[in-house]
């Protein structure tokens, strides 16, 4: 049984593992197979995961369309916690931030259509827009919340100061930051603030774009629009350092718990957050079948210390997530 948590405003408890669908959209992941994607979504639900996270920007609407088709085929919409996002826009495949009220009111209806539903469980501001007052964005989200089109309000990639400004206008029930064994910036402020405010953290990148999946090797090549071409972790000399750390983490997981490094990475997030949710990205059914591995173990203080020691030993220059931020509107339109 996958652990569950609670989000204010929802009638059902979301599982603490959610299926992440960025790769399912194909964009920045080298494409995807829709049939495989639908099978993956069904596999996740059958494995006990009731929470699915998606966004319009994942393939410029494609991921939402695939998720909507999968849920229509599976049925029982009321048993699924469906989370999507807003406030990114695009021209062709050039994505940029757009937190305007106009964008939000248009995108909610587009998302409802693509997802084949009449409400969104968790609606999240994908990225803050520096060209739009956060109060305007919050006001629009608050209106949708009052209308019942969304059951909970979330923000993603927000600082604590941005969250405080937002909360002066509308409530925040969830926050979605990057968080994994290798990317821990939110421990300084965002995570403590969320826990104090009873805001549930949906942690994305739990497997660090496949690094913590355990199958990546030094000869792995990334092509096309693959995000990892712009992530310094996947470039020399950093790639070698991170792979060395993964190998030692793999050994620790197997020798101490009889688990995979993938299970160790997800368990780490669940144990490090009081009520957080780990987003498990997948686009093939076999990438999600091992979810049962997470259920029967926890990481004690010695294991957490040993993990930190492995990272300190192998990674002399830790890389953050700064490269992931999309541009502002003017940079794309004028460019």
- What would the two tokens of residue 276 be? 């957080």
Our measurement of the distance from residue 319's CA atom to the centroid of its chain's CA atoms, rounded to an integer in Å, reads: 18
- What would the two tokens of residue 46 be? 């059958």
Supply the residues annotated as catalytic. Answer: 58
Residues 94-111 as b/e (b if ≥16 CB within 10 A, e otherwise) read ebbbbbbeebbeebbeeb
Judged by DSSP in three states, 176 sits in: strand
Tell me the C-alpha distance between 219 and 15, whole Å: 36
Bridge pairing between strands 17-20 and 200-203:
unpaired
Tell me the C-alpha distance between 113 and 107, whole Å: 10
Give just the sign of the alpha carbon dihedral 273, 277, 283, 284. Answer: positive
Size of the chain in residues? 335
């Amino acid at each position: 049984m996958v652990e569950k948590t609670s989000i204010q405003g929802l009638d059902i408890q979301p599982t603490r593992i959610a299926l992440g669908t960025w790769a399912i959209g194909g964009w920045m992941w080298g494409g995807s197979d829709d049939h495989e994607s639908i099978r993956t979504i069904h596999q996740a639900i059958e494995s006990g995961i009731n929470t699915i996270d998606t966004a319009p920007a994942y393939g410029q609407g494609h991921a939402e369309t695939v998720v909507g088709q999968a849920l229509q085929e599976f049925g029982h919409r009321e048993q699924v916690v469906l989370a999507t996002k807003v406030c990114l826009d695009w021209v062709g495949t050039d994505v940029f931030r757009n937190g305007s009220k106009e964008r939000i009111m248009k995108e909610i209806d587009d998302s409802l259509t693509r997802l084949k539903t009449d409400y969104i469980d968790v609606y999240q501001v994908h990225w803050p827009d520096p060209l739009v007052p956060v109060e305007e964005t919050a006001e629009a989200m608050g209106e949708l919340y009052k209308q019942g089109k969304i059951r909970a309000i979330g923000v993603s990639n927000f600082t604590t100061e941005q969250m405080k400004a937002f909360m002066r206008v509308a409530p925040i029930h969830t926050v979605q930051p990057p968080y994994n064994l290798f990317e821990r910036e939110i421990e300084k402020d965002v995570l403590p603030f969320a826990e104090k405010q009873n805001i549930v953290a949906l942690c994305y990148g739990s497997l660090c774009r496949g690094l913590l999946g355990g199958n990546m090797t030094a000869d792995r090549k990334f092509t096309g629009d693959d995000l990892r071409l712009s992530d310094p972790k996947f470039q020399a000399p950093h790639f070698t350092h991170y792979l060395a750390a993964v190998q030692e983490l793999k050994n620790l997981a197997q020798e101490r718990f009889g688990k995979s490094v993938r299970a160790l990475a997800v368990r780490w997030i669940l144990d490090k957050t009081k009520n957080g949710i780990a987003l498990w990205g997948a686009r093939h059914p076999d990438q999600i079948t091992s979810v049962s591995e997470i259920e029967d173990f926890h990481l004690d203080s010695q294991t957490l210390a040993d993990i930190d020691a492995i990272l300190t030993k192998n990674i002399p220059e830790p890389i953050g997530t700064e490269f992931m931020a999309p541009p502002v509107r003017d940079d794309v339109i004028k460019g």
